[in-house]
Homo-oligomer: A and B are copies of this chain.
Amino acid sequence: MSTIGVTAPQGFSAAAAKAGIKPSGKTDLAVVVNDGPDSAAAAVFTRNKVFAAPVKVSRAAVAAGQLRAIVFNSGNANACTGEQGLQDAQTMQRLTAEGIGAEPAQVAVCSTGIIGDQLPMQKVAGGIADVVQCLGDHGADAASAIMTTDTIAKEVLVKGDGWTLGGMGKGAGMMAPSLATMLVCLTTDAKVDSNALQTALERATATTFDTLDIDGSTSTNDTVIAMASGASGVSPEQEELDAAVREACAELAAMMQSDAEGVTKRVTITVEGAVDNMQALNAARTIGRDNLVKTAMFGSDPNWGRVLAAVGMADAEMDAEDISVTFNGQTVCEHSTGAPGAREVDLSGADIDVVVDLGTGGAGRAMVRTTDLSHSYVEINSAYTS
């Protein structure tokens, strides 16, 4: 049995195939099967009003609370593809169900790749026919098959008391959403119901994937989906489940941040002294999305004035004359004015911690993870489909 990934927990099998969707000829189709005995499931989907056909299909499947399998393809997001796209997602669902002997409603569908092209269904169907023939302990193959612009496959394993939680993910926090949706699949052999799993997933994503904000964009296909087989026979308490799911999501989120295209710096923005956590999060996001802050980070420039100019536009209460800022623990701004030596702070390393206190005296606090804005980002994202 695998030591990491979606087939590490008991009761799961997976496989991948080269369906020919990706021009590169690499693996581009995968199935992860929950072999039971249970088939509890939970998921969190993109909040984008423009969502892809597979999201629509998977939402309905997960809403019923039971999943036997998830079929994934990379190279094509099946997004903005109209009625034909919906039929194609349903065909993927049906073919996978037939291949493993399940009902179509028990199969979720995840697609990632270019937006706006119809799926090459003959290739997809061939890939599904292949993959269901070789299901086994192949979580690593599945993790590779869902990669698009990722440079490394992303797998995790968290051990509980007598049960385990595995996972795989792909994506770069929407650095290139035409080809790089965020997809995550978690598997566990814990004996938990769909409600407990959904609760754990929502709690975990709120502080992990939801605070990974590379460029403020949100994909049409973002999906985080979890299946529980119950094969360990162990039923953890909600807190134990929450902790494991949070750890797995945090590890995958960190991998995505590091692998985001064009990244030369990992930047953490913490906002403190806000009226409440929500306002702190608003302020942290506003700073983390500001292109002038992000280009300064790329240049290793301790330009704290840009942080103040950015936070001043946030939907958050602040004492505009009592904001303080630290870069990597060194105070660069106090009472909204520069601190001695602020321009000399060394930001040449790969990690930059920015802490901003809004000066309200409140206990509100939040953190977002982002990256710098580099030449590579512009290069990669300007030269994609052309």
| Residues of A near any B CB (own CB < 8 A) | 47-51, 77, 79-82, 84-85, 114-117, 174, 176-178, 215-220, 289-292, 295-296, 298-301, 303-306, 308-314, 318, 320-321, 323, 333, 335-338, 342-343, 373-375, 377-379, 381-386
Contact = CB atoms under 8 A, between A and B. Distances in A.
Nearest to A332: B116
B215 A291 contact: yes
Contact of A305 (B115, B323, B379): B115
A47 to B, nearest CB: 7
A320 B51 CA distance: 8
A89 to B, nearest CB: 14
Nearest to A303: B385
18 contacts: A49-B312, A51-B312, A51-B320, A79-B305, A80-B304, A80-B305, A80-B336, A81-B338, A82-B321, A84-B337, A115-B308, A215-B291, A216-B289, A217-B290, A299-B382, A299-B386, A301-B384, A375-B379
Contacts of A342: 116
A80 B300 contact: no
Contact of A50 (B79, B215, B320): B320
B115 A218 contact: no
Nearest to A338: B116
Contacts of A80: 304-305, 308, 333, 336-338
A335 B50 CA distance: 12
A269 to B, nearest CB: 16
A26 to B, nearest CB: 22
Contacts of A320: 49-51
Given A116-B304, A178-B303, A305-B115, A313 B218 contact: yes
Contact of A117 (B48, B116, B309, B338): B338
Contacts of A313: 47-49, 217-218
A292 B177 contact: yes
Q: Find the residue from A80, A298, A309, A333 having the highest chain B CB count within 10 A.
A: A309
Q: Find the residue from A216, A218, A298 having the highest chain B CB count within 10 A.
A: A216
B386 A300 contact: yes
Given A116-B342, A337-B80, A50 B386 contact: no
A54 to B, nearest CB: 15
A184 to B, nearest CB: 19
A310 B378 contact: no
Nearest to A81: B337
Nearest to A373: B378
A337 B85 contact: yes
Contact of A299 (B321, B377, B383): B383
